[in-house]
Amino acid sequence: MKIVAVTACPTGIAHTYMAAARLEKTAKDMGHEIKVETQGALGIENPLSDQDIRQAQVAIFAVDISVEGRERFKGMKVIEVPLQEAIKNAQGIFEKLKG
C-alpha cells in the first residue's frame, strides 16, 4: 500500500524524528511504501508533494500538535494517532489500516 505520513511533537527536536524513523522502518518491514513528512522545530522537512499525496491511499498523522497544511489532505482517508503510538506501536497503526 502507498502511504503518506506526518509526524510532529511540541518541542520538535527528538520525538518527531523518532516517530518518523519508526514509521518508515515498520512500513518497509510490512511491505508498504511510505513517505514521512516531519514538522519539527526546524519547520517542515521531507515535504509531501501534491503528487505524493494524490498517489497515496491513506495518510497517517502521528502528532501531538496540529498538522500544518492540513488542507492538502482534503478528501483523503486520514488516520490520526498520538505521536507516542507511532513510537511504541507502529505495527498496530499499520494493522489498523487494513480494517
Partner 1 sequence: MMEQLRHLRQHLLTGVSYVIPFVACGGILIGLSIGIGSRYGMPITSNGPDFSHLPILKLIFDIGSAAFALMLSVLAGYISYSIAGRPGLVPGFIGGYLSGQVKAGFLGAILVGLVAGYIVELIKKLPVPSFIRPIMPILVIPILSSAAIGIIMLKVLGTPIAALMVAATSFLKNMSTGNSVLLALLLGGMIAFDMGGPINKTAFFFGLAMIQEGNFRIMGACAAAICTPPLGLGLATLFRRKLWNEEEQEAGLASLTMGMMGITEGAIPFAAADPLRVIPCIIVGSMVASVIAMLGGVGDRAPHGGPIVLAFGAVNNVLAYVVAILAGTVVTALCITAAKSFSAPKALAATEGR
Residue ranges in contact with partner 1 by CB under 8 A: 8-15, 18-19, 21-22, 41, 63-66, 70-71, 82-85, 87-89, 91-92
Please report how close the Cβ of residue 49 comes to partner 1 at its closest, in angstroms.
Answer: 21
Output the CA–CA distances (angstroms, integers) from residue 34 to 4, 11, 41, in the order listed: 6, 24, 22
Please report how close the Cβ of residue 76 comes to partner 1 at its closest, in angstroms.
Answer: 17
Residue 41 or 76 having the CB closest to partner 1: 41
Question: What are the residues whose beta carbons fall under 8 Å from the beta carbon of 74, sequence distance 6 or more?
Answer: none
Residue 1 or 81 having the CB closest to partner 1: 81
> How much helix, strand and coil, in percent to the nearest 5, is found in the chain?
40, 30, 30
Please report how close the Cβ of residue 67 comes to partner 1 at its closest, in angstroms.
Answer: 9
